[in-house]
A and B are shown apart, each in its own frame.
Chain A
C-alpha cells in the first residue's frame, strides 16, 4: 500500500463529498460513476452477496418459526436434546456453547488477519488465516459429531422420538446450510492463506481465475464472508437453540 502524498490526500478530500449526514447518501447515489466511494469494488459486491444470503437465512429462520408455532405437538426441548453428559452429570447445550465460542474466536482471529494484512505483514496474516481456517474446521467437525449423535438417536427430517416431526427438518436444513457456508469459508480461507503465503498479494500476481492483480483487500473481503458466517450463527443460536 503506497501512502498518499499530502497533495493526493487533499485532492481526495476535495473529490469525495462528505461521508456523513443523510445528504451524503443522496450525493453519493446521484453522483457520477460510483455510488460506493472510497471502497474497492469487491467490498460492495461481497456485501450485496451477503445481503442476499441474509434473505435466505432469514427465510429459513422465519419458516422454522412458523412451523414451530403452528404445530400442536410439543417441540423437543433443545436444552436437553443438545445437552452432553460430562462427569456423570448432564450439562445443557454444552456442545453448542463450545461451538459458539470456537466460531467467535475464529472471527477474532479473522479480524486480526485483516488488520495485519493491511500492515503488509505477510507471515502474521497467513498464520492468522490458517488459525481461522483451523477453528472453522473444528466447528464443522463438532457439527458433524452433533449430527451423528442426533441421527443415531433417531432424529430424521420426518420425525424424531421426542415430539414435533418438524424438529428434524428445521434442524438439518438450518444447521446444514450454515455448516455448508462454514465449509466453503474454510476452503476460501485456505485459498487466500496460500496466496498470502506465496506473496501473491505483495507482488500483485494476477489471480488464476479472474486475472486481477493480487491485493490485501481480498483478505478483508474474505473476512466479510467469514464474519457473516459467525453473524448467522448468532441468530441460529438464539432462535434454534435457546428458544
Chain B
C-alpha cells in the first residue's frame, strides 16, 4: 500500500497540495459552536412549546416552520461548516433540494384532488373540510 500512495503523490500534488488538509482545516473558535448549540436548544424548546400550549391555525404553522428553518439553517451553516465553504460547493448542495418544492406542490394538488373525490364518491358522511396542507 505504501508505495502505491507514493506513486500517486507526484501527480495529485504537483506543487504542495493546495487543496489538501493544511490549506483549509475548518478551524474555528470553540465559542461559536457553544453559541449555536445553545441557540438550537432554545429553538427546540420553542417548537415544543408550540405544541404544549396548543397553538392552532396560522400561528402554529408559522412558528413551526420558522423554528424548523432556523434550526436547519444553523446546523448546515455552522455545524456543517457551509458558511466557510466556497460558493461552488455551497450552491451545488443547497440549490438541488429546492427541486423538492416542485414535488411538494404536485403532492399538495394531488392530495386535494384525491380528498375531494374520496369525499364525493366513498365517504360522504365522513367528509371533512380539507386540512390546510401546504
Task: List residues of A whose CB falls within 8 A of some B CB.
Answer: 1-4, 8, 11-12, 15-16, 19-22, 24-25, 28-29, 34-40, 43-44, 47-48, 50-51, 54-55, 58-59, 62-63, 65-75, 79, 92-93, 97, 100-101, 104-105, 107-108, 110-112, 114-115, 118-119, 206, 211-213, 215-217, 220, 223-224, 227-228, 230-231, 234-235, 237-238, 241-243
Contacts and interface: CB of A to CB of B under 8 A. Distances in A.
Interface string B67-99: 110011001101111000111110111001100
Q: Bin the interface of chain B by size.
A: 35 or more
B128 A72 contact: yes
Interface in B41-91: 41, 44, 47-48, 50-52, 54, 60, 64-65, 67-68, 71-72, 75-76, 78-81, 85-89, 91
B112 A69 contact: yes
A47 B89 contact: yes
B30 A1 contact: no
Going nearest first, the 9 A-B pairs with the smallest beta carbon separation are A69-B133, A69-B111, A28-B88, A70-B114, A108-B37, A238-B68, A70-B111, A58-B100, A66-B107
B68 A72 contact: no
A216 B92 CA distance: 24
Given A227-B80, A238-B47, A39 B87 contact: no
B88 A37 contact: yes
A70 B112 CA distance: 6
Interface in B1-30: 1-2, 4-5, 15-16, 18-28, 30
A238 B68 CA distance: 6
A143 to B, nearest CB: 17
B16 A51 contact: no
A136 to B, nearest CB: 15
B90 to A, nearest CB: 9
Contacts of B122: 72
B106 to A, nearest CB: 8
Given A22-B87, A63-B107, A238-B68, 15 more contacts: A12-B18, A19-B86, A21-B87, A37-B88, A43-B89, A51-B93, A68-B111, A111-B33, A111-B37, A112-B33, A114-B26, A220-B81, A224-B80, A228-B80, A237-B47
Contact of B21 (A110, A215, A235): A215
Nearest to A31: B88
Contacts of A238: 47, 64-65, 67-68
Given A11-B15, A38-B18, A44 B103 contact: no
Contacts of B107: 62-63, 65-66
A191 B118 CA distance: 51
Nearest to B60: A242
B131 A104 contact: no
Contact of B91 (A25, A55, A59, A220): A25
19 contacts: A1-B25, A20-B87, A28-B88, A38-B23, A38-B86, A48-B93, A55-B97, A58-B97, A62-B107, A67-B111, A71-B115, A72-B118, A72-B119, A72-B126, A93-B51, A101-B41, A114-B26, A119-B27, A227-B79
